[in-house]
Amino acid sequence: MPLTDKILLNVLKGQHSWPPPIWLMRQAGRYLPEFKKLKQQTDFLTRCLHSDLAVEITLQPLQRFAFDAAILFSDILILPWAMGQELHFVEGKGPRLPPITSQKELELLRPEKIIEKTEPILETIRRLNCILNSTSQTHKPSLASPALIGFAGSPFTVSCYMIEGGSSKDFSIVFQMIYKNTALFNRLIDLLVQTTADYLCRQIEAGAEVIMLFDSWAGILPMSLFQAYVINPTKQIVRQLQKKHFHTPIIGFPRLAGTKLFAYVQQTGLKAIGLDQTADINFLNQYINEEIVFQGNLDPLCLLNNKKIMQDETFKICQTLKNRPHIFNLGHGILPSTPLENVYQLVEYLRALI
């Protein structure tokens, strides 16, 4: 495929870049003072569904930092919300949904409503695509044009929230359904596979240049269930996206997967994977095909205090992955208490690597 002026897209096509391109998970949001100001004025869903606000929030970090990508400001639970599952966010506690624990509750979902209810998000993507690809960009320019990343939650992770009614320490209700009502759980996963694939296709058609699949709770599953509920659904989604949009790169992020990453890479068809901060990149770099793009791995805690620790860890990651396509990122989302100056220092340090 031909190369572009977008370094991140070139790396996802297999090109080596030094220094690597950079963006940060959750870069649009909670650590930025301009976001905190908007947060006081509107609730979370309003920020996601009002295109003016979502565009502004998505671009906020690019106005400050020389990132190589903008990631759509939205949430992985938009899909169940669009199907009719009530959703609200409690400050300091996260999302709350009425739990789905029976076939009757599952049948109340209306997937046919997704197109209508996600239209504001697709409009946000269309507007962002125009802004990021215009010659008169209003954000602070990177060394190259920023790519636009769309995303969705992977079926297993989204199902966890839908069944538990929010987050959980042990996801015991999810495991009870898996073991005691497997048929019901499988029907929910099947529904999420199809609706997620359709939703991501529409994001691409609206202008998303990269897709990321967030599977935040993938690591809680033993290998047999990981195969059934992480690898297989991801493979189905990837196949559907590639069938319609073969040239759109997809990054999978099965957080805390550990050594299960080998099977994930081999079987899903993905060419790029996100690595959380617990991943042993020396080991993975040695044994995973060097054509697979690695993204992530810096502990978000490194950005909180010590400049030297941040620089040392950044250098180790970049040096380890110097001989493969690599996108610099955190191992999880940037923390709300992260000082802005530390983000500036991270970007400046990375750009100065020789």
Q: Could you tell me the pLDDT band of residue 2, with boundaries at 50, 70 and 90? A: low
Question: Would you say residue 341 has pLDDT above 80?
Answer: yes
| C-beta pairs of 96-105 under 8 Å, 24+ apart in sequence | 96/165, 96/166, 97/161, 97/162, 97/165, 97/166, 98/165, 99/162, 99/163, 99/164, 99/165, 99/173, 100/162, 100/163, 100/188, 101/163, 101/173, 101/177, 102/184, 103/184, 103/187
Question: pLDDT band at 141, cuts 50/70/90?
Answer: very low
Instruction: Extract the tokens encoding 219.
Output: 């690591």
The span from the CA of 140 to the CA of 161, in Å, is 36
The model's confidence at residue 93, banded by pLDDT at 50, 70 and 90, is confident
pLDDT in tens, 189-202: 999 999 999 999 99
Q: Per-residue DSSP letters for 241-257?
A: HHHH-TTS-EEEEETT-
- pLDDT (0 to 100) of residue 1: 54
- Quick one: pLDDT at residue 291? 95
Can you tell me the mean pLDDT for 151-168? 96
Structure confidence at residue 135 (pLDDT):
47
7-351 under CATH 3.20.20.210, yes or no: yes
Q: Is the pLDDT of residue 13 over 90?
A: yes
Candidates 67, 192, 284, 172; CA nearest to 58 is 67
Q: Which residues, in sequence order, are bridge partners of residue 273?
A: 252, 294
Mean pLDDT (the chain) is 94
Contact residues for 39 (Cβ-Cβ < 8 A; gap 6+): 30, 47
What pLDDT sits at residue 143?
A: 44
Amino acid at 98: P
- Locate the domains of the chain by residue range: 7-351
- pLDDT tens profile 22-65: 999 999 999 999 999 998 889 999 999 999 999 999 999 999 99
Question: Mean per-residue pLDDT for 237-263?
Answer: 97
- pLDDT digits 0-9 by tens, 112-131: 999 999 999 999 999 999 99
* DSSP-derived 3-state class of residue 235: helix
For 333-352, what is the mean pLDDT?
Answer: 96
Q: How far are the Cα atoms of 114, 141, 255, 280, 317 from residue 157, in angstroms, in the given order? A: 19, 34, 10, 23, 27
- Is pLDDT of 139 > 80? no
Q: Is the pLDDT of residue 140 over 60?
A: no
